[in-house]
Amino acid sequence: MATERSKRKDHIIALLGQTSEMSVNEIADILKVSTMTIRRYLHELEEEGLVRRLHGKALLLNVMSRPVDPYVLGKQIEKNAELKSKIGAAAASLVKPDEMIFLDSGSTTPFIAKSIDAQMHLNVLCYTFQNALEFYNRPNTKLILSGGFYDRDSNIFYSNKSLEIIKDLRADTAFISTAGVDKDLGLTTYFYFEADIKKALIASAKRVVLVTDSTKFGKVSITYFANIQDLDVVVTDEGIPDEYRNFFVEQGIELIIV
């Protein structure tokens, strides 16, 4: 319990580090716990001199010490490129000709795109510039771009209309990335505007495949987007902790380790 308490308090600090202040209800919704629990955590954080509670809200006291979001796509792709290439190749092997697939954002999904046979007849929806570049000149690929405003840090196109496009389509497989995987708090992402896109991809696919390196297990990022039980397959590397190996088996989730 002490570990879980510490993890949730760290998550609260991370949330406040992004927005300076949030309401108790907002924090409770993101962490999927009661407002009473959040008030208890905030009371402890206030006693530690980290936050101030004010009229149902929490304020991060030292704004200058906010944690800087470490996610910049280019740097993330460079990290563990060889390992992510192996994960991408294993995920690509799940794709069959003439299927419809969704490709999420993130630093691993471009390696899936690179590993798919360029001559394969395929339908692909993506919402990142990087993945679109992998497919735009493949004559046998029907490429669908969800479109919208472009965020350079995340490499994401997003808009309300792009969500409608995703919701109107159906895929055989959605390949999903994540910034954190936690048994209790689920899958999380750095960018709040990306969470709705991920939710739409998952809801519109027959099979959901999580592609992630083992460093993401046990981590919690800013915004929740799915439960672990929403997954059908997890593709990762040998560094996955035993507790997560066992947990996926217990949940009936297929585990592919490269």
pTM above 0.85, yes or no: no
Assess whether 85 and 60 both reside in one domain: no
The strand pair at 254-257 and 156-158 is best described as unpaired
Assess whether 61 and 84 both reside in one domain: no
Assess whether 88 and 166 both reside in one domain: yes
Mean pLDDT to the nearest integer, 217-230 = 94
Assess whether 96 and 223 both reside in one domain: yes
Query: Residue 40 forms beta bridges with which residues?
Result: none
The residue out of 47, 65, 83 marking a domain boundary is 65
Assess whether 82 and 40 both reside in one domain: no
Burial 22-44, CB ≥16 within 10 A → b, else e: bebebbbebbebeeeebbebbee
**Per-residue confidence (pLDDT) for residue 202, from 0 to 100:** 98
Q: Is the pLDDT of residue 20 over 70?
A: no
- CATH code: domain of residue 230: 3.40.50.1360
Assess whether 26 and 113 both reside in one domain: no
Instruction: Say which range, 11-25, 46-60, 134-148, has the weakest mean pLDDT.
Output: 11-25
Residue 254, SS3?
A: strand
Q: Are 172 and 101 in contact (CB under 8 A)?
A: yes
Assess whether 246 and 153 both reside in one domain: yes
Q: Distance (Å, rounded) from C-alpha 221 to C-alpha 157?
A: 21
Assess whether 206 and 178 both reside in one domain: yes
Assess whether 101 and 201 both reside in one domain: yes
Percent residues over pLDDT 70 in the chain? 90
47 confidence band (pLDDT: 50, 70, 90)? confident
**Per-residue confidence (pLDDT) for residue 211, from 0 to 100:** 98
Taking CA atoms, 154 is separated from 70, 139, 160, 213, in Å, by: 11, 27, 17, 18
In this predicted model, what pLDDT tens digit does every residue of 125-148 receive, in sequence order? 999 988 998 998 999 999 999 988
**Per-residue confidence (pLDDT) for residue 158, from 0 to 100:** 87
Assess whether 80 and 145 both reside in one domain: yes
Domain count, the chain: 2
Mean pLDDT of the chain: 87
- CATH code: domain of residue 28: 1.10.10.10
**Per-residue confidence (pLDDT) for residue 64, from 0 to 100:** 36
Structural domain containing residue 234:
73-257
In this predicted model, what pLDDT tens digit does every residue of 231-252 receive, in sequence order? 999 999 999 999 999 999 999 9
The residue out of 65, 85, 115 marking a domain boundary is 65
In this predicted model, what pLDDT tens digit does every residue of 58-103 receive, in sequence order? 887 754 343 444 444 444 444 567 888 899 999 999 999 999 999 9
Assess whether 51 and 91 both reside in one domain: no
Q: Is the pLDDT of residue 49 over 90?
A: no
In this predicted model, what pLDDT tens digit does every residue of 187-218 receive, in sequence order? 999 888 889 999 999 999 999 999 999 999 99
Q: Are 208 and 231 in contact (CB under 8 A)?
A: yes
Angle subtended by helix axes 2-19 and 24-31, to nearest 10: 130
